[in-house]
Structure 1
Amino acid sequence: MSPRTRADSAHISPSAHYTGYVWYRHQLAEPAFATGFGRLAYGLLKPLVWGVREVLGLDLEHVLLQRHLLIDARLRAAIEQGGVRQVVEIACGLSPRGRRFCQRYPQLQYLEADLPAMAARKRLLLHGEGWLDGRHRVRDVDILAARGALSLQALFADLDQHAPVLVITEGLVNYFPRELLEGFWTRLAAQLARFPQASYLTDLYPDLREHPRYRQLRWGVDLVGRLTRGDYWLHYRDQAEIVAAFEGCGFRRVAVLDPEHDGAGLGLPDQGAPSLLRVIEARVP
């Protein structure tokens, strides 16, 4: 597998540091999550982000907040209304979600996972602040591993398979071509089928060619690819294709959420145009 199709830690970590600093700026994360590299990257990219917003009307930081806050909202609902007591956040990067939700919900078991280099950094951060314990853990995983110590099967092995579980990936799936992505979803659905109730939350940027800002989206996609030294893939033309893809991988009851309609209570200003982002909530069985 070539380096451009296999997302390694050197590939994704720059964006993890940048988004970690965005969460901190918006009071979604404690100072420990704001790394020096993240602060530097944010400062260097600030003129570019401003230019994209002013010239093209595309607010990249707003999109990041949309996805993060909408996933948070769906996770809260799953815990408070759906009885979820264990959460697995794959490709956790420098996300502060595990810390915030463990503080808010003392009954919650939260397992974060990432490629070994990123997981080690996250583990060190949380341990240094005294936040790791029996409820909040970090494990190594490679979503492309079909078997072995880094596989999904190994990751889920020590969860309570008699209790509901919710899995999150944020800022991950568009780094993979469709074949690899759907292979991951198929393996994930197979693991989730072992639980009495299981759901999956992820963000997704579809190939919305009829979108009024499609040209800006394509430009932004090319920019992300250059900044992360890899490809950034757009999948699926519409909601029907998204639902069909998830169902083909073994998921059921697939909801495709648009932040402009399903995130009205997120506290973000109206951008005056349809969102480029979708958040998917899929269930097994």
Structure 2
Amino acid sequence: MPRTDSAHISPSAHYTGYVWYRHQLSNPAFVTDFGRFAHVVLSPITWAARRFDIDLERLLLQRHLLIDALLTEAIEQRGVTQVVEIACGLSPRGQRFRQRYPQLHYVEADLPPMAARKRRLLASQGWLGEQHQVQAVDILAADGECSLAALFARLDPAQPVLVITEGLVNYFELGVIEGFWARLAEQLKGFVQGSYLTDLYPDLQEHPSYRQLRWGVGLVGLLTRGKYPLHYRDQAAIEAGFARCGFRQVAVLDPHEESLRRQLPRGRLPGLVRVIDARV
């Protein structure tokens, strides 16, 4: 049966929050004891994975920094003034981009417990305000106060908006996440300009480390108390999937290939992750 709740995602937010801090992308306020603990516990596994040229932290950095680069371009070249980061967890992106672009209206959104924690964290540092907010959302809610409609009702439809989800979509079966994308595309169509950035792990059976990847996927599912299905076989399937959900323009980017042009961390093997830049 497809997973029909989102509560299993939060544990990984603590781990990634510590990874961002380790690589000087975050403030110490975003670090939790559980994040430090998870990093220590997983260190033997991540060391072993590197022997098969699967560097988990480098992979996380590649996707995070490529999303940052695309967001920067959207702000500076397309005039994006509103950003919604769904499943924000302990991501430092909102705080960093609000410092860099004070005019930006940044909304962080997550399930109610994580949203409450993030709200308290930002408030304690003096970062919360009219231009930097935290809202509760459940991507699977069809209506109600935690629905996408309620989240986007707070924004200005006359201003461009960009939505980010990072480390979210592969926690759900494809049919479930395509339902979210279809609802998201419908909301974005109500704005003068709407775009979406996300990471995605396709089912790259031809990848040199595919067997190790499948083992790692099983581990992620175990740690987060849920499955971690891989979506789509290739770029054409990704483009077709997003088109079915209502996106008119879809770019599929491999951080491994983008690394030289954008001066991002580069791995030895072709990338396992894709970053999607989709627009309505």
Is it true that 1:216 corresponds to 2:194 in the alignment?
Answer: no
RMSD: 1.1
The alignment status of 1:20 with 2:17, answered yes or no, reads yes
Equivalents in 2 of 1:24, 1:195: separation in Å? 34
Secondary structure of the structure 1 residue equivalent to 2:88 = coil
**d(CA) in 2 for partners of 1:13 and 1:243?**
28
Partner in structure 2 of residue 6 of structure 1: 4
**What pairs up with 1:192-231 in 2 under 5 angstroms?**
192-231=188-227
Q: Does 1:48 align with 2:45?
A: yes
In the alignment, structure 1 residue 264 sits paired with structure 2 residue 260: yes
Structure 2 SS opposite 1:139: strand
Report the CA distance between 1:48 and its aligned residue: 1.3
Identity of aligned residues (%): 67
What code does the residue aligned with 1:48 have?
A: I
SS class of match (1:179)? helix
Structure 1 266/35 Cα, relative in aligned 2: closer, same or farther at 3 Å?
farther
Structure 2: distance between partners of 1:30 and 1:265: 27
Letter in 1 for 2:38: A
Residue 109 (structure 2) aligns with: 113
DSSP 3-state at the match of 1:264: helix
Q: Secondary structure at the match of 1:279?
A: strand
Match of 2:66 in 1: 70
Q: Residue 149 of structure 1: SS of its match in structure 2?
A: coil
Whether 2:85 is the aligned partner of 1:89: answer yes
| Deviation of the 1:213 alpha carbon | 1.2
**How far off its partner does 1:268 sit?**
4.2
Amino acid at match of 1:82: R
Deviation (angstroms), 1:265: 4.6
- Counterpart pick for 1:144 among 131, 140, 152: 140
The whole-number CA distance in structure 2 between the counterparts of 1:197 and 1:57 is: 40
1:36 corresponds, among 24, 33, 37, to 33
Letter in 2 for 1:22: V
Q: Contact between 1:7 and 1:175, CA under 8 Å: does it hold in 2?
A: no
Q: Distance in 2 between the 1:121 and 1:187 partners?
A: 26
What's the TM-score, normalizing by structure 2? 0.98
- Displacement of 1:33 in angstroms is 0.5
Q: Secondary structure at the match of 2:272?
A: coil
Instruction: Check conservation: 2:61, 2:265, Cα contact below 8 A.
Output: no
Q: TM-score, normalised by structure 1?
A: 0.96
CA distance in 2 between partners of 1:92 and 1:24 (Å):
15
More moved, 210-219 vs 134-143: 210-219
Contact 1:89 1:168 in 2 (8 A): yes
AA partner of residue 110 (structure 1): Y
Could you say if the C-alpha distance between residues 136 and 213 of structure 1 is closer, same or farther in structure 2, counting changes exceeding 3 Å? same
1:107-256 matched pairs, under 5 angstroms:
107-256=103-252
Cα deviation, residue 111, structure 1: 0.3
Judged with a 3 Å threshold, the aligned counterparts in structure 2 of structure 1 residues 267 and 158 are, in CA distance, closer, same or farther, namely same
8 Å Cα contact 1:20-1:34 kept in structure 2: yes
Distance (whole Å) between structure 2 residues aligned to residue 49 and residue 192 of structure 1: 38
Q: Is the Cα contact below 8 Å between 1:16 and 1:93 reproduced in 2?
A: yes
- 1:137 aligns to what SS in structure 2? strand
Partner amino acid, structure 1, of 2:81: R
1:138 partner letter: V
